[in-house]
Amino acid sequence: MGNLEQFNWKGKQILIVEDDKSSIILLTALLDRTGAKLIFTSNGQHAIDIVKNTNSIDLILMDIKLEGINGIQASTIIHDFNPKIPIIAQTACVMPGDKEKCFEAGCTAYVSKPIDAYELLLLIDKHINSISREKTVETIL
């Protein structure tokens, strides 16, 4: 794995929508080192509620296979009222057309499980920093 010290997201908040305990453990171990505040939920409706009730989420990691409101439905709803939050879809069940459905729902990126840890960090870094630049530009304007 590359140099983890390059990923410093102190002051950032990442919403992780995941119902698989082993994936939660893996993501926690990986992302704890970045300094980001991690917020966890295991269902799509709660993810929607979190995003609607706070304006401090910088990025969402969205599992697609969830009970109730699935990740694609949740991503669509979140994207409709806050299209600036990057959503990275993640799933173990890759079916034909899944990737396209994720992008149609407003996801900015897609990764399939098992996740390559370093590649996920690079992807998060790319998107979490793009929203920071947008916020800075809006503040200046």
Range(s) of the domain holding residue 41: 10-140
Residue-wise pLDDT tens digits, 25-48: 999 999 999 999 999 999 999 999
pLDDT at 4: 62
pTM (predicted TM-score)? 0.88
Could you tell me if residue 4 is inside a domain? no
Could you tell me if residue 50 is inside a domain? yes
Determine the 3-state secondary structure of 114 from DSSP.
coil
pLDDT at 137: 41
Identity of the amino acid at 137: V
Could you tell me if residue 83 is inside a domain? yes
Could you tell me if residue 106 is inside a domain? yes
The tokens describing 113, both together, are 């499980």
Could you tell me if residue 48 is inside a domain? yes
Residue 135 has pLDDT above 70, yes or no: no
**What is the number of structural domains in the chain?**
1
Identity of the amino acid at 116: D
- CATH number (domain holding residue 15): 3.40.50.2300
Q: What is the C-alpha separation between 42 and 52, in angstroms, rounded?
A: 16
Could you tell me if residue 5 is inside a domain? no
Residue-wise pLDDT tens digits, 41-84: 999 999 999 999 998 999 999 999 999 999 999 999 999 999 99
Could you tell me if residue 2 is inside a domain? no
Q: What is the C-alpha separation between 87 and 80, in angstroms, rounded?
A: 12
